[in-house]
Structure 1
Amino acid sequence: MKKLLSLVLLFSLSPCSVVASPDLTSQQVTLLVQQTIEPLLKQQAIPGMSVAVLYKGRAQYINFGLADVESGRAVTENTIFELGSVSKTFTGVLASVLIRNGDLRLTEPVKKYWPELSGAQWQNIRMLHLATYTAGGLPLQLPDTVTDQASLLSYYQNWQPQAAPGTIRQYSNASIGLFGYLMTKGRFEEAMIKSVFQPLRLTRTFFTVPKTMMFDYAWGYKNGQPIRVSPGMLDAEAYGIKSSARDMLTFMQANANPNGLSSGNTLLRNAIMTSQSRYFETGLMFQGLGWEIYNWPVAVQTLVDASDNNVALSAQPTKMVTPAGPTDRASWVHKTGATNGFGAYIAFIPARNTGIVMLANKNYPNPERVKAAFHILEALQ
């Protein structure tokens, strides 16, 4: 206990010097997580959360609260949560599989993958621009009037960019969603299951939760009322995956240490490294395929400021990294995600083989997720 309290006292909101210390025990890791998460749950009125910790390659789970307030069903590491935009990291890994297979080239024009996009504005937009939110200002969401392929084509044909491709980054489901749809020729879910879910043996990760698993599907909460995500165009590609902390830890382990995958997963191992390459630089953040990446060490305030929606959702000047920067294990790699009733966060430091997954059944502010996760990971020296 004294050792853990000493580690917690070492934490501050500015970069910390690394203090050599013996490894923490599982009990100490649990206590650290509890001391950090329990006040957060109370402050944000979050009904339940499942936390998965990867500590120097060692996995453990710490669960809190309720998956279903009405029934009193408790959260476990097998409880299924909506990932929201954390789904984009899966899209990035799948894209990298296709790149490694020679089925996708990021430098190719979008029009090659959808010839019906004949508008002049698409002339210089590449698949890489869609993947990295740099096409010129595609919006966060598609309009509600887009409900089928015809209206989807009509929307993109009439959309007009506010900037030249590759000059601004504006976070967009409409951008990466179209990317995922086109790269798989409309067979996104099938391709994801075959190339990512199955090789990683993710048995509780779905686009549509099957009836046999509905008991483990948590209810999300908004204003105290239960809610789950509604279907929408390009939802699978941008925000539609549901998963458990156990499966997400498996996914994080593979991304934090792809060399740990079996020899039979060489393609996926190489794809994961491709997804963590650095394609565009926006401030101190590098945009990977799905992943957002910072040089490590990084100040927590840098991460907190960038995660605030006033910044994260705004159009920001960006520049292309030429050639794309390779994977750097000295990185903070992360992604936030939310639906109306859920809030998710994943962050890891490959050089330490250490990371965290936080799955909650309430959408609460991104900066609070980042601060809690940074506190925990910084103490896991």
Structure 2
Amino acid sequence: MANTPTPQADAAELRDWLAAELPALIEKHGVPGAQAGVLVGGEIVDTAAGILHLGTGVEATTDALFQIGSITKVWTATLVMQLVDEGLLDLDEPVRTYLPEFAIADDAAASAITARHLLSHQAGFEGDLFTDTGRGDDCVEKYVATLADTPQLFTPGTRFSYNNAGYVVLGRLVEVLRDAPYERVLTERLIQPLGLTHAAPGPYEAIMHRVAQGHVPAGEGADGAAGGTPTLVPAPLWALVRSNGPAGSTLAMRVADLLAFAKLHVDRGVAADGSRVLSADSVSAMQQKQVDVPFMGLLGEAWGLGWELDETPAGPMVSHDGSTVGQNAFLRVIPELGIAVSVLTNGGDVYAFSREIFDTVFEKLTGAAVLAALPTPADPAAVVDEATAAPFLGTYSASVMDVIVTRDDDGALWVESKLKGDFADLQPPEPPERVVPYSERGLIQAEGQGGIHIVYAFVDEGDDGRHSFIFTSRALPRSR
């Protein structure tokens, strides 16, 4: 186990630093508005800066709500583990034990998939499905019924592939075993017991608060004057479909409430008022490794039950990020030190922005660099011969996107991501990006953005020597 230094900066120092630096950081990274907060010494401090909506000019404040996107998955996982605590659910029983109607294209896989597989993204069926099944309380039930033709990518329990649809299945599991809609269970079992006053499971609750709007690039030809910084405009919608709520389409809150949820996991399942919300055993189980994750630079080294997992010089870290339409949320927690840091944003160069905050705050907290160094290309201008390129080249496909890897006549490698379906309408197409070899099984962006270079991981060479999957956090199988 890593040495775990005593936190050095106190709450007051961090509050002062955040208040002084956040305005400059959002300007530097082109972020319209943001909240940032820290849990340290049992106290939560937070600050806000910028604008919630560029169309209205409403100011960002600490009581405003931002969408937390897929961080919701940790909330869903917590609800599932409450079922385990009460003896209502066995993580290693097939999901069909509780949801006999659960069906995907591969019936053998559907019969084998467990809640543990779903929680740790090992179910193996295609997961980026955002089918709109209406706004009624039965939308999650209806969504799960649409999965019957969903293709299986690999045998359950054999590898990691991020799966939004799997978390909607977990949400339906919660509904059935609690005999109530997901949002009501979320409210009654987590939001209310934790005393959260600025957390909204959907837009009807969010509208009672000051709320952030996401922002997206205006489109081709809309670059601003300062170094080609994209011009941002309000996103064409506030939230994704309600049916994906358990995976992260609608939950919104202020950063202080998100950190109060993190504190539940730091305090071994005990809420601020002393009541037990989750057993200590379930808290520990969620933080235990279930599967290794191919190295991609922006994800954890492994996955637990809901949480991303990393080993750091300050001790084991659990984390999760979230993205909706023009909003991004970030949460990092080191339970052994009792510290957590979170950043909520509504557009701009959010990865570089959040990373700068995390690096500085964790150094103030621990006296050392905590997060692993970001991957960078050894030679951004590298070219490769046909034999070296051959295992990577081709098209990798899922329902929502194709990723195409090509080599030009000069030996340069390119990756082009083409969104399909509804997602193609939400943002303009992006041009191909230059990539260079990062390892025998990886390609890395040559230019990146804001110091962030995404790594594309590849696995499973077939008989022809070509890789069978590309990982973009999802496992996309080769289609040609």
* TM-score by shorter chain over 0.5: yes
Equivalent residues of 2:133, 2:243 under 8 A apart = no
Q: Secondary structure at the match of 2:39?
A: strand
CA distance in 2 between counterparts of 1:22 and 1:112 reads: 49
What CA deviation, in whole Å up to 9, does each residue of 1:49-84 have, x standing for no partner? 111111232321121112233443322211011111
Determine whether 1:125 maps to 2:107.
no
Equivalent residues of 1:343, 1:360 under 8 A apart = yes
Structure 1 residues 61, 165: CA separation in 2 closer, same or farther (over 3 Å shift)? same
Question: Which residue of the partner structure matches residue 315 of structure 1?
Answer: none
Question: Which residue of the partner structure matches residue 237 of structure 1?
Answer: 246
Determine whether 1:275 maps to 2:286.
yes
Q: Secondary structure at the match of 1:289?
A: coil
State the one-letter code of the partner of 1:117: F
More helix by share: 1
Structure 1 residues 115, 62: CA separation in 2 closer, same or farther (over 3 Å shift)? same
State the one-letter code of the partner of 1:122: A
Residue 143 (structure 1) shift: 4.8
Determine whether 1:376 maps to 2:361.
yes
Equivalent residues of 1:80, 1:216 under 8 A apart = yes
Structure 1 residues 288, 229: CA separation in 2 closer, same or farther (over 3 Å shift)? farther
What CA deviation, in whole Å up to 9, does each residue of 1:131-175 have, x standing for no partner? 211111423234568996787456422223121111121112111
Instruction: Map 1:16-35; keep pairs closer than 5 Å.
Output: 23-24=9-10, 26=12, 28-33=13-18
Equivalent residues of 2:65, 2:198 under 8 A apart = yes
State the one-letter code of the partner of 1:358: V
Question: Which residue of the partner structure matches residue 158 of structure 1?
Answer: 149
* Equivalent position to 2:58, from 55, 63, 73: 73
* Equivalent position to 1:102, from 65, 73, 87: 87
Q: Secondary structure at the match of 1:168?
A: coil
Residue 290 (structure 1) shift: 2.0
Question: Which residue of the partner structure matches residue 10 of structure 1?
Answer: none
Instruction: Map 1:72-221; keep pairs closer than 5 Å.
Output: 72-117=57-102, 119-143=107-131, 152=143, 155-185=146-176, 187-210=181-204, 213-221=207-215
Q: Secondary structure at the match of 2:183?
A: helix
CA RMSD of aligned residues (A): 3.1
Equivalent residues of 2:126, 2:163 under 8 A apart = yes
Q: Secondary structure at the match of 2:91?
A: coil
Question: Which residue of the partner structure matches residue 440 of structure 2?
Answer: none
Residue 31 (structure 1) shift: 4.8
CA distance in 2 between counterparts of 1:75 and 1:230 reads: 19
State the one-letter code of the partner of 1:243: M
CA distance in 2 between counterparts of 1:205 and 1:295 reads: 30
Question: Which residue of the partner structure matches residue 257 of structure 1?
Answer: 267
Percent of counterpart pairs with the same letter?
22
Structure 1 residues 62, 331: CA separation in 2 closer, same or farther (over 3 Å shift)? same
CA distance in 2 between counterparts of 1:145 and 1:250 reads: 32
Residue 221 (structure 1) shift: 1.5
Equivalent residues of 2:123, 2:157 under 8 A apart = yes
Question: Which residue of the partner structure matches residue 290 of structure 1?
Answer: 306
**Which structure's relative contact order is higher, taking Cα pairs within 8 Å and 6+ residues apart?**
1
State the one-letter code of the partner of 2:114: R
* Equivalent position to 1:353, from 296, 316, 338: 338
State the one-letter code of the partner of 1:178: V
Question: Which residue of the partner structure matches residue 52 of structure 1?
Answer: 37
What CA deviation, in whole Å up to 9, does each residue of 1:234-270 have, x standing for no partner? 3210112111122112112222223663685224253
Equivalent residues of 1:104, 1:183 under 8 A apart = no
Residue 92 (structure 1) shift: 1.3
What CA deviation, in whole Å up to 9, does each residue of 1:111-138 have, x standing for no partner? 2222123523312211211121111142
Name the larger-Rg structure.
Answer: 2
CA distance in 1 between counterparts of 2:25 and 2:168 reads: 32
Structure 2 unpaired stretches of 5+: 218-231, 295-299, 367-480
What CA deviation, in whole Å up to 9, does each residue of 1:170-206 have, x standing for no partner? 1121111212222322721121111111110111111
Structure 1 residues 197, 17: CA separation in 2 closer, same or farther (over 3 Å shift)? closer
CA distance in 1 between counterparts of 2:242 and 2:44 reads: 36
Q: How many residues align?
A: 334
Equivalent residues of 2:37, 2:342 under 8 A apart = yes
Superposition TM-score, scaled by structure 1 size: 0.77
Structure 1 residues 371, 176: CA separation in 2 closer, same or farther (over 3 Å shift)? farther
CA distance in 1 between counterparts of 2:145 and 2:115 reads: 19
State the one-letter code of the partner of 1:285: E
Structure 1 residues 340, 150: CA separation in 2 closer, same or farther (over 3 Å shift)? closer
Equivalent residues of 2:4, 2:337 under 8 A apart = no
CA distance in 2 between counterparts of 1:120 and 1:225 reads: 46
Equivalent residues of 1:355, 1:377 under 8 A apart = no
